[in-house]
């Protein structure tokens, strides 16, 4: 009889351990384990190529070129409200970016202010787009969404791994999305938040991420059969950042 009780005790203990490990895995997946790897690896040459195509030149506290690249290696995360941004010399641009070039540009052009780390973007053969990153939810709420931060229906940690897949395009600065999947860490977003009404809300608020640049005009942002991102619009050629 004692053997029976002993076996039951160990079975229950094992079950509790498995439950705790599962909970720990889900929690850690929100930010500690890193975002989903889409297999997009970029080099410094990809970043240089992206800058050449866009024409953008960035100066931070008087630093540019190699000096700025060296500074960026240990750049501390800052709020956009701590700095003055001057955008100038706007030009009409049309260009394509490979997955590597687009990923390099998004990760490297403003690492001290950008709200997404370890970001990867990818165009699939059928035109579907994937995106994966660790989002700085805390800074996003203060920098861009302070007016609606308290209205978010789900409790979110300060840092969150996100993954999305679907058809996305931008026309005249307006985002249009048809999401297929959306994950917060290892947890898929509930279906009720993938329905038309919720998608419309996302389409309304997500553009703040790029319209934070005054005068930016995205006439169209789509993909082509070669698996590249295709951009047409007006963008600043010079960006100067100084502390307030």
pLDDT block averages, 10 residues each, the chain of length 244: 48 43 44 80 96 95 89 85 94 98 95 91 94 91 87 75 92 91 80 75 87 95 95 97 91
Nearest partner of 34 among 206, 186, 189, 181, judged by Cα: 186
pTM for the whole structure: 0.83
Predicted confidence at residue 153, as pLDDT, reads 64
β-bridge pairing 187-188 and 174-184: antiparallel
Task: Give the residue from 213, 210, 219, 221 showing the smallest Cα distance to 238.
Answer: 213
In a domain? residue 194: yes
Q: Is 55 part of a structural domain of the chain? A: yes
Tell me, yes or no, whether 2 lies in a domain.
no
Number of domains in the chain: 1
Residues 6+ apart with CB under 8 A from 57: 51, 64, 237, 238, 239
Residue 12 lies in a domain: no
pLDDT in tens, 112-161: 889 999 999 999 989 999 999 998 989 998 999 988 877 766 667 888 88
**Per-residue confidence (pLDDT) for residue 100, from 0 to 100:** 98
Domain-located, residue 120? yes
Contact 131, 121 (CB under 8 A): yes
Length of the chain: 244
């Amino acid at each position: 009889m004692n053997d029976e009780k002993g076996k039951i005790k160990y079975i229950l203990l094992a079950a509790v351990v498995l439950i705790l490990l599962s909970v720990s895995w889900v929690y850690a997946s929100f930010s500690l384990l890193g975002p989903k790897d889409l297999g997009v690896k970029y080099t410094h040459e990809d970043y240089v190529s992206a800058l050449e195509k866009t024409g953008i030149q960035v100066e931070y506290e008087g630093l540019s070129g190699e000096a700025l690249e060296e500074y960026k290696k240990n750049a501390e995360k800052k709020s956009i409200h701590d700095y003055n941004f001057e955008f100038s010399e706007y030009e009409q641009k049309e260009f394509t970016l490979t997955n590597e070039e687009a990923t390099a540009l998004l990760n490297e052009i403003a690492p001290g202010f950008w709200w997404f780390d370890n970001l990867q973007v990818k165009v699939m053969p059928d035109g579907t787009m994937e995106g994966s990153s660790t989002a700085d939810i805390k800074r996003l709420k203060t920098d861009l969404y302070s007016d609606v931060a308290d209205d978010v229906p789900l409790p979110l940690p300060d840092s969150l791994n996100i993954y999305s897949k679907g058809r996305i395009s931008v026309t005249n600065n307006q985002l249009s999305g048809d999401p297929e999947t959306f994950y917060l860490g290892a947890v898929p977003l509930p279906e009720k938040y993938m329905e038309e009404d919720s998608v419309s809300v996302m389409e309304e608020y997500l553009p703040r991420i790029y319209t934070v640049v005054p005068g930016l005009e995205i006439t169209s942002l789509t993909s082509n059969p070669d698996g590249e991102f295709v951009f047409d619009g007006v963008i600043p050629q010079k960006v100067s950042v100084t502390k307030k």
